[in-house]
Amino acid sequence: MPTVVVIGAGNAGLCAALAAAEQGARVIVLERAPLEERGGNSAFTAGALRVTYDGAADLRRVMPDLTEAEWATSDFGSYPAEAFYDDMARVTESRCDPDLTETLVSGSLRTAEWMRSKGVRFVPMYHSQAFKVDGRFRFWGGLTIEAVGGGLGLVDTLSASAERAGVTVVYQARAVALTQRAGLLTGVEVRARDGSTEVIPADAVVLACGGFQANAEWRTRYLGPGWDLAKVRGTRFNTGDGIRMALDIGARATGNWSGCHAVGWDRNAPDFGDRRVGDGFQKHSYPFGIMVNAHGQRFVDEGADFRNLTYARYGREVLAQPRQFAWQIFDANVAGLLRDEYRIKQITRVTADSIEELARKLDGVDPDAFLDTVKRYNEAVRVSIPFDPNVKDGRGTEGIVPAKSNWANRIDTPPFQAYMITCGITFTFGGLAINPRTGGVLAEEGHPVPGLFACGELVGGLFYFNYPGGAGLTSGAVFGRQAGTEAARYGATR
């Protein structure tokens, strides 16, 4: 029986562990965090997966628990493979590796079905990806399903499934080096909490321990000046260990090392993620309002595209503003469209009955410049075009820079509300080169590193500049299942 060691116990690592166990391997998962902080970045997500589907029949296979009444009142539309490819190409400016992208897209639905067979239950994203129109929920943006219980529910379910499959998970075990003999991988050197080290023998190793977003020094080195000031949305343990260990034995670096997934995040959120709040510190309803900086000026097109196709890059724009903050502004006309995260207790918000009063309450903002911005914005809104939050409605602005392309409404109806945000980094895009068909890590010279596989955030070449929402968990699951399967098969040949 081959021994497969998986480093990391998030979505990608647990999928790899389950897949390796399916192949008959003895599987050991090493998790740097303690039990109460398990799950990596996956635990801080909404649990959304972006998958292809041609219609409701495909979704029934992953959501068999929905009632007929729910099916009747839900317009899921379709999200064919071509749409997924188009979204990946558009948001990455066509830089995404075509072979990696093909593996991701083609494996998305069947991997969700496989996860369902492991106990993961999925439900429609009614509260964040659909609006009710004429009695039916209409979904938009290609993002439709989420795991029951969000990211924590996903991690808990996969962990329980791994336990039933006989997978051993060791917590507070930090992998620090990969050991080799005669060019072959032989094991993983592990540092325990007390500082002692030991080598755990392995026939194959799967790296699934995330990017380097929790490493302030690496963020500044690779992403650039100022990135040490960003908040970290998720776990404090993703400091690039897996990437470093692989590079130390000759693996090839690839991908967008100066890029990352970064969003608008509450200005006063803690430096790292809070599991009690999860992803609630995010503020993603900006397409229905405006964002202003300390100078009282708008700085992005808030309606450039659907939220889940712009949110992962707008955090970078916020970080680049003076003092690294912005305010999101809404009025009563759109208050009912704001996502649930705008109603949590841990929030930086001000309200006012007049726009002049609101201007005085925006901490750090030039009030006169803000009032001028709102005046010019209101005058520029093309009110003759109907507002429709379910589609890119073309209700934009004329004569101002930056323009707003869709969902533009005048900010003129009290009460007004504003939310202060900064940049929250989710994960980094640079990482390791892998074989897109096996998940095997490639050496600098292009050949495989024998016995080493990778999945999840530390795989480079898939995301550049931006990211379509839900593709991260899907990537982790698709490439995790692949890496675990191939690692067990490789180990069996040793």
CATH classification at residue 271: 3.90.700.10
- Which phi and psi (to 5°) does residue 181 adopt? -145, 125
312 shares a domain with 385:
yes
455 shares a domain with 343:
no
Angle, CA of 488, 160 and 127, to the nearest 5°: 110
**Residue 237 is assigned to a structural domain of this protein:** no
Query: In the prediction, which pLDDT does 378 show?
Result: 98
Mean pLDDT of the chain: 97
For residue 79, the 8-state DSSP code is B
- pTM, entire model: 0.94
**Residue 226 is assigned to a structural domain of this protein:** no
- How much of the chain exceeds pLDDT 70, in percent? 100
147 shares a domain with 109:
yes
Query: In the prediction, which pLDDT does 128 show?
Result: 86
Convert the pLDDT of each residue in 135-194 to its tens digit: 899 998 889 999 999 999 999 999 999 999 999 999 999 999 999 998 899 999 999 888
CATH classification at residue 149: 3.50.50.60
Convert the pLDDT of each residue in 49-98 to its tens digit: 999 999 999 999 999 999 999 999 999 999 999 999 999 999 999 999 99
Dihedral angle of Cα 136, 142, 146, 150, to the nearest 10 degrees: -110
23 shares a domain with 129:
yes
Angle, CA of 385, 312 and 241, to the nearest 5°: 175
Q: What is the mean pLDDT of residues 303-330?
A: 96
419 shares a domain with 271:
yes
Q: What is the mean pLDDT of residues 314-338?
A: 97
**Residue 234 is assigned to a structural domain of this protein:** no
**Residue 230 is assigned to a structural domain of this protein:** no
Q: Is the pLDDT of residue 132 over 90?
A: no
282 in Cβ contact with 263 (< 8 Å): yes
Q: Which residues pair with 189 in a beta bridge?
A: 177, 199
Bridge-based pairing of strands 122-124 and 145-147 is: antiparallel
289 in Cβ contact with 300 (< 8 Å): no
Identity (one letter) of the amino acid at 159? S
21 shares a domain with 73:
yes
206 shares a domain with 91:
yes
Distance, in Å, from the CA atom of 35 to the CA atom of 435, rounded to the nearest integer, reads 32
Distance, in Å, from the CA atom of 4 to the CA atom of 490, rounded to the nearest integer, reads 10
Domain count of the fold of the chain: 2
Query: In the prediction, which pLDDT does 164 show?
Result: 98
Q: Which residues pair with 423 in a beta bridge?
A: 264
Domain residue limits at 396? 262-424
pLDDT band of 444, cuts 50, 70, 90: very high
Distance, in Å, from the CA atom of 452 to the CA atom of 245, rounded to the nearest integer, reads 11
Residue 363 structure tokens: 């901490």
434 shares a domain with 402:
no
**Residue 414 is assigned to a structural domain of this protein:** yes
For residue 221, the 8-state DSSP code is I
Convert the pLDDT of each residue in 251-284 to its tens digit: 999 999 999 999 999 999 999 999 999 999 999 9
Strand runs labelled E in 400-439: 416-428, 431-432
**Residue 24 is assigned to a structural domain of this protein:** yes
**Residue 294 is assigned to a structural domain of this protein:** yes
Distance, in Å, from the CA atom of 73 to the CA atom of 134, rounded to the nearest integer, reads 10
157 shares a domain with 275:
no
From 402, 424, 446, give the residue that closes a domain: 424
Q: What is the mean pLDDT of residues 477-486?
A: 98
From 424, 455, 482, give the residue that closes a domain: 424
286 shares a domain with 197:
no
Q: Is the pLDDT of residue 195 over 90?
A: no
From 404, 424, 444, give the residue that closes a domain: 424
Q: What share of the chain is helix, strand, coil (3-state, %, to 5)?
A: 35, 25, 40
177 shares a domain with 279:
no
280 shares a domain with 181:
no
Convert the pLDDT of each residue in 98-129 to its tens digit: 999 999 999 999 999 999 999 999 999 998 89
**Residue 112 is assigned to a structural domain of this protein:** yes
